Amino acid sequence: MRRDRINDFAADLVSRASLTPDDAGCQDAIATRLASLGFDIEPLRFGEVDNLWARRSHASPLLVFAGHTDVVPVGAKDTWRIPPFEGRIVDGMLHGRGAADMKGSLAAMIVAVESFLSRHPSHAGSIGFLITSDEEGPAVDGTAKVVDHLQDRNIDIDYCIVGEPTSLHRAGDTIKVGRRGSLTGAIRLLGKQGHIAYPHLALNPVPAAARLITMLDELVWDEGNEDFPPTSFQISNVHAGTGAGNVIPGQVEILCNFRFSPESQPEDLKRAVEARCHALGLKYGIEWTLFGMPFDTPPGPLRDATVHAIAEITGLETVCSTSGGTSDGRFIAPTGAQVIELGPVNETIHRVDECVSVDDLVILSKIHERILEIILA
Strands (E), 120-180: 126-132, 159-162, 174-176, 178-179
Amino acid in position 369: E
Instruction: List 296's β-bridge partners, or say none.
Output: 178
Reference 290, options 324, 252, 331; nearest CA is 331
Element (H, E) at 29: helix 26-35
User: Distance from first CA to last CA of the chain, Å, rounded?
Assistant: 22
How far, in Å, CA of 219 to CA of 229, rounded?
15
How far, in Å, CA of 77 to CA of 335, rounded?
41
Residue 49 burial by CB count (10 A; 0-12/13-18/19+): exposed, middle or buried? buried
Reference 98, options 194, 19, 213, 32; nearest CA is 19
Catalytic residue (choose from 23, 50, 70, 296): 70
Q: How far is CA 306 from CA 43, 107, 109, 278, in A?
A: 29, 18, 14, 48
Show Cβ contacts of residue 276 under 8 Å, excluding neighbours closer than 6 positions: 212, 215, 216
Instruction: List 163's β-bridge partners, or say none.
Output: none
Give catalytic status of residue 12 as yes or no.
Answer: no
Give catalytic status of residue 222 as yes or no.
Answer: no
Contact 367, 109 (CB under 8 A): no
Catalytic residue (choose from 23, 134, 135, 328): 135
Reference 372, options 71, 6, 115, 95; nearest CA is 115
Catalytic residue positions, numbered? 70, 135
